[in-house]
Amino acid sequence: MNKVAIITDSTAYIPEHVRKEKNIVMIPLNVIFGNETYKEEVELKKDGFYEMVGKGGNLPKTSQPSIGELADTLEALSKEYDEAVMITLSSGISGTYQSALSLADMVENIKFYVFDSEISCAPQAHYAYTAVDMANEGADGAQIMEKLNEIKSQGIPAYFVVNDLNHLHRGGRMNTAQLLVGNLLQIKPVLHFQDKKIVPFEKIRTKKKAIGRIHQLMEQSVRPDEKFHVSVIHAQREEEAREIAGEIQAKYPNASVAVDYFGPVIGTHLGEGSLGITWMKN
Ligand code: MYR
C-alpha cells in the first residue's frame, strides 16, 4: 500500500491544531510590508496582520511560497511517504500551483501530484480534508486526484462581498472595468470564482442585500433537512459572521456551520470587512 502525504498551502486557513490532528502539511505564502516578508500563519497570524494594516503605513503585498521550502518539505516527506498530493489555491490568482507543478517533474524520491483547487480558503480546506481521509483509508495519489477532480466538476458554491473593491484591483485580481463599474454605481457586488478567477456574480447595492442574495442561492442549492457543511468566512467581522452562521444553522438544523477567517494573504486582497459564505455537500 502506498503511503500518501497531504500538503496544502496556507490560504486554506486550516487551524494549526487541526493540521496536527489530521497530519496535513502546510506550506506558507508570504505577506510583505515594505522590506519585511512574513510567512503567513507561521510568522504572522491574522490578529497581528490586521493590527499592522490598521496602523496604516505600507500597504501589504503577497507572494507565493518559497519553492525551495516546498522542495525541502518533499525531500523530508520522501523518507516516510511514497506519494504526496498538494492542494493549492486557484492558479488564476496565484503562481503557487504552477511553481509546485514545475517541481513535480524534478522530485525523485516521491511521486508528487498537484491539485488546482481553482478557489481558496474553506473550499480548499475541504479538498484537503477529503484527501487526508482517503489517504488514511488506503487510497493512492491517483485515486485521491480523481476524487478531488470529481468534487471540482460538481462545483463548490462560494460567494463573497468586500467593503472596498480597490484592494482586489490594487493586487491585480480585479480588472479596471469591473472596479469602475463597482465604484461608479457604488455597488457591493457579490463576487465568485469563474474559470479560476474572481468575477462579479451579481451587482447589488448594499452588503445586507448581497448577503440576502447569498442566502437565496443557498436555498436554491440545498434542501432544509439536508446534511451539508457551511463556512462563513470573515475578515475582522467575527460578530457579523457568527450572526449569519446562527441564522443558517437555525434554517438548516442538519448542517454543520463553521465560522472561519480570511488570513493575511487573502485579507491583503479582499480587505477588512469582507465576508464569504460557502457550502459543501460532498
Ligand atoms: C500570491 O501572491 O500568490 C497570492 C495571491 C492571492 C490572491 C487572493 C485573491 C482573493 C481570493 C478570495 C478567495 C475567497 C474564497 C471564498
ipTM for this prediction: 0.99
Q: Which of 39, 91, 120, 167 to mutate to test the pocket of ligand 1 (most atoms within 8 A of CB)?
A: 120
Beta strand segments in the chain, E: 4-9, 24-27, 30-33, 36-39, 61-63, 83-88, 111-116, 158-161, 190-194, 197-202, 229-234, 256-261, 275-280
pLDDT for 206: 87
pLDDT of residue 129: 98
Nearest protein CA to atom 12 of ligand 1, as residue? 266
Q: Where in the chain do CATH 3.30.1180.10 domains reside?
A: 158-280
Pocket-testing residue among 27, 164, 265, ligand 1, by greatest number of atoms within 8 A of Cβ: 265
CATH numeric code, 158-280: 3.30.1180.10
| Strand arrangement, sheet containing 61-63 | 36-39, 30-33, 61-63
The amino acid present at 41, given as its one-letter code, is E
Three-class SS of 244-275: HHHHHHHHCCCCEEEEEECCHHHHHHHCCCCE
Q: Are the CB atoms for 9 and 96 separated by under 8 Å?
A: yes
The SS3 assignment for 70 reads helix
Residue nearest to atom 14 of ligand 1 (CA): 120
pLDDT of residue 191: 94
pLDDT at 243: 97
Q: Tell me if 214 CB under 6 Å of ligand 1.
A: no
265 CB within 6 A, ligand 1: yes
Q: Which of 8, 30, 269, 277 should be mutated for ligand 1, with most atoms under 8 A from CB?
A: 269
> Is the distance from the beta carbon of residue 92 to the nearest atom of ligand 1 less than 6 Å?
no
Strands 24-27 and 4-9: parallel
160 lines ligand 1 (CB under 6 A): yes
Q: Which of 204, 207, 196 is nearest to 155 (CA)?
A: 196
**Cell numbers representing residue 85 in the block:** 498530493
Instruction: Give the pLDDT of the chain (282 residues) as one tens digit per residue.
Output: 889 999 999 999 999 999 999 999 999 999 999 999 999 999 999 999 999 999 987 889 999 999 999 999 999 999 999 999 999 999 999 999 999 999 998 999 999 999 999 999 999 999 999 999 999 999 999 999 999 999 999 999 999 999 999 999 999 898 887 877 777 677 888 999 999 999 999 988 888 999 999 999 999 999 999 999 999 999 999 999 999 999 999 999 999 999 999 999 999 999 999 999 999 997
Fold of 4-29+64-154: Rossmann fold (3.40.50)
Q: CB–CB of 131/81 below 8 Å?
A: no
Does residue 184 sit in helix, strand or coil?
helix
Instruction: Please give the pLDDT value at position 188.
Output: 84
Tally the C-alpha atoms within 13 A of residue 124's C-alpha that lie toward its C-beta. 32
**What pLDDT score does 216 carry?**
96
Closest to 122 measured CA to CA, from 97, 77, 166, 158: 158
pLDDT of 282 reads: 73
Nearest-atom number in ligand 1 for the CA of 158 is 16
Ligand 1 atom closest to 89 (CA): 6
Q: What span, in angstroms and rounded, lies between the C-alpha atoms of 47 and 50? A: 5
Atom of ligand 1 nearest to the CA of 64: 3
- Give residue 87's pLDDT: 98
